[in-house]
A and B are shown apart, each in its own frame.
Chain A
Amino acid sequence: MTFSVWTLLGAMVIGTGIGVLTGMFGVGGGFMITPLMNIVLGIPMQIAVGTGLLQILGTSSAGLYRRRKEKLVDLKLAVVLFGGSVVGSRLGLQTLTYLEGLGDIVLPGGSMPAAQFYLLLVFFVLLGLIAGWVFYDTTRKKDDDGAAVIGLFSKIKLPPYSDFDSLEVPRMSIPVLSYFGLFLGFITGLMGIGGGVIMLPSLVYLIGMRTHRAAATSLAVVLLSSIVATINHAMAGNSSVLLAFPLLLGGGVGVQIGINMADRMGGASLRRYFAYVVLAAMLMVAIKLGAALI
């Protein structure tokens, strides 16, 4: 597939912005890359998914390398989640392939590929849930250093358990974490998002980790799950290295800027800005869907 110079320049701008998000919040940025490439640059959804994953690999690697000496990453947690994400990623890609096979769907505003329509719908709902929860949480009074609440998953009594020193409540159910990894992998394979947009609030609110630790650990989880999803999508012919290059170039610069900005912010401020970004993405998806439905 060939792309115009403007498309490649647009990809570089998008890559830089997404890199800043990765550095600040530890998210891969796929929740923005996929719809941005599809809506703004007109890239077919499956190519946007597969290529976006290449960018996520680059920015999360760069971010993790930058944070390697800070010892904030809970590698044990990241690896435990990884197993489920391997299987989930495969299932996600199979689901996407099935949706592609459905062809175009006829809507009041015109026709649209079924894969694009259904995925944008899922994006819209997902982003709304995340933004809503994070806004709700930032309006509650708590200390500025991140999660003071006990993670929801730590209340689930499903043996066997293991201890994770980075958590507010160290004891966690391995089956719960493993299946959560499966869910993350499925989202990665289906939507081309690294899972970070779900991972960051999940590590804070579901698993019970402080925000700065969660940002670093989510980079590791995003990297591991994206490696698998990238391989799967590349084998399916969904990845464009030509398009990924400007994304990565911009992303490499952006992630360093983002980390510098994050280091100057408190946990609550980080979460609030994250919610604003998620809302912006949701608005963009809403506009695209609205145009097709009206």
Chain B
Amino acid sequence: MDVWGNVILALVFPIAWGLGSAWLFDKINERRKSRAQAESAGADHDL
């Protein structure tokens, strides 16, 4: 790859990856919290 290709790759890929992975982790954590809340609500209901 030529110099300009490397420059564009260096500028674009890190941010794209950073944003994508941060978003994915936040989504996974949200789902985990919802599931935990649903389970705890279900347990309270049973009691």
Query: Residues of A with Cβ closer than 8 Å to B?
Result: 75-76, 79-84, 86-88, 91, 94, 160, 162, 174-175, 177-179, 181-182
Contact = CB atoms under 8 A, between A and B. Distances in A.
Contacts of B25: 75-76, 79
Interface in B1-47: 6, 9-10, 13-22, 25-26
B9 A87 contact: yes
A178 B17 contact: yes
Given A79-B21, A80-B21, A162-B26, A178 B6 contact: no
Contacts of A81: 18
A174 B6 contact: no
Q: Is the interface of B mostly helix, strand, loop or mixed?
A: helix
Contacts of A91: 6, 10
Interface of B: 6, 9-10, 13-22, 25-26
Contacts of B19: 160, 174
A252 to B, nearest CB: 30
Nearest to B7: A91
Given A76-B25, A79-B25, A162-B26, A178 B10 contact: no
Given A91-B6, A94-B6, A83 B13 contact: yes
Contact of A182 (B10, B20, B21, B22): B10
Nearest to B9: A87
B13 A175 contact: no
B10 A83 contact: no
